[in-house]
Amino acid sequence: MTTVNMDTLNRFLFDNHPIRGEITRLEQTYQAVLDNHTYPVAVQNLLGELLVVTSLLTATLKFEGDIAVQLQGDGALSLAVVNGNDQQQLRGVARVNGEIADDATLKDMVGNGYIVITITPKNGERYQGIVGLEKDTLIGCIENYFMQSEQLPTRLFVKTGVHNNKPMAAGILLQILPANDDTAESFEHLSALTETITADELLQLSTDEILYRLYNQEQVRLFETHDITFKCGCSRQRCEDSLMTLPANEIDEILSEDGGNIDIHCDYCGKHYLFDSIDIAEIRNRHKVNYH
């Protein structure tokens, strides 16, 4: 039986306004990020928002490459990061060092911190933007980022919740097209309409139904659907390569201390890669490492 991918992204345009939009809906990808972890409820919700934001950000960029949206701070949530690429492949992880209440705010969780957005094109220079936590929510901070670095008025409407007993996250992005003036009234009008969307509607209705419910008085062009998937990117080969960056005596010491095995655990997907002394000898032989 074929599994239907519920995780999708759609772009849309308003024919009568110089404004574009995107809708992202996540279920399986969101669940894959939460699997193998016991995150507090507030952190689960924040990761859902980060996944949606990263997907929407990636779709606004016309490039081949990777993007990372990372939250860092000195609070109980020291790190939350989502990586994505132009193929709409996402992964994410959080590091929690302390108690976090279910109703904790962004500031409660992160403390003094900031957001780092890193864009790495396959061709071209790497770009990094740093956003202060000047707003109370992640969404407010990302909207600030667009105004400061892209100078494009952008609104984000993101919801997380549970649908059919599964965690879901979804969001809508509205953005004024570059080089368009006198659009403030149109943008305010469409933003006000989008603001009326409820969590249940955004998480449960189809993209067509959402667009009709919000913009039935407008002419909207909906483009093809793009699938979103969870992809970790870890592999045994990458673990081997990282092991070969360590001094030989350090590897031998780990082997002797950990019962003859080196266990490399992937925080993103939960996989374990085990290497015993025979594996290490074979890797050293392949890399032709000289330890004398």
Model confidence at 148: pLDDT above 90: no
Phi-psi region of 179 (alpha: psi -120 to 50; beta: other; left: phi over 0): left
CA separation for the pair 211, 194 (Å, rounded): 9
Is residue 191 domain-shared with residue 267, that is, in the same domain? no
DSSP structure string for 95-118: EE-S---TT--HHHHH-SEEEEEE
Predicted confidence (pLDDT) per residue in 158-187, tens digit: 999 998 889 999 999 999 988 777 788 999
Which pLDDT score, from 0 to 100, does residue 2 have?
41
Residue 254 pLDDT? 84
Question: Of the residues 211, 230, 249, which one is the last residue of a structural domain?
Answer: 230
Is there a single domain that holds both residue 158 and residue 122? yes
39-58 pLDDT, tens per residue?
999 999 999 999 999 999 99
Assess whether 84 and 170 both reside in one domain: yes
Of 264 and 178, more confident:
264
Whether 279 shows a pLDDT value over 70: the answer reads yes
Domain boundary among 189, 205, 230: 230
Same domain, 241 and 223: no
Region for 168 from its dihedrals, namely left if φ exceeds 0, alpha if ψ lies in -120 to 50, beta otherwise: beta
User: What is the band of 4 on the pLDDT scale with cuts at 50, 70, 90?
Assistant: low
Residue with tokens 């082997």: 255
Please report the pLDDT score of residue 5 as a whole number.
66
Domain final residue pick, 230, 254, 270: 230
Report the pLDDT averaged over residues 269-287: 86
Instruction: Let me know whether 96 and 226 are in one domain.
Output: yes
Instruction: Tell me: do 159 and 256 sit in the same domain.
Output: no
DSSP label at residue 177: P
Domain hosting 281: range is 236-287
Considering the domain architecture, whether residues 166 and 255 belong to the same structural domain is answered as no
Instruction: Give the CA distances from residue 60 to residues 10, 12, 154, 161, in Å, rounded to whole numbers and listed in that order.
Output: 11, 12, 11, 25
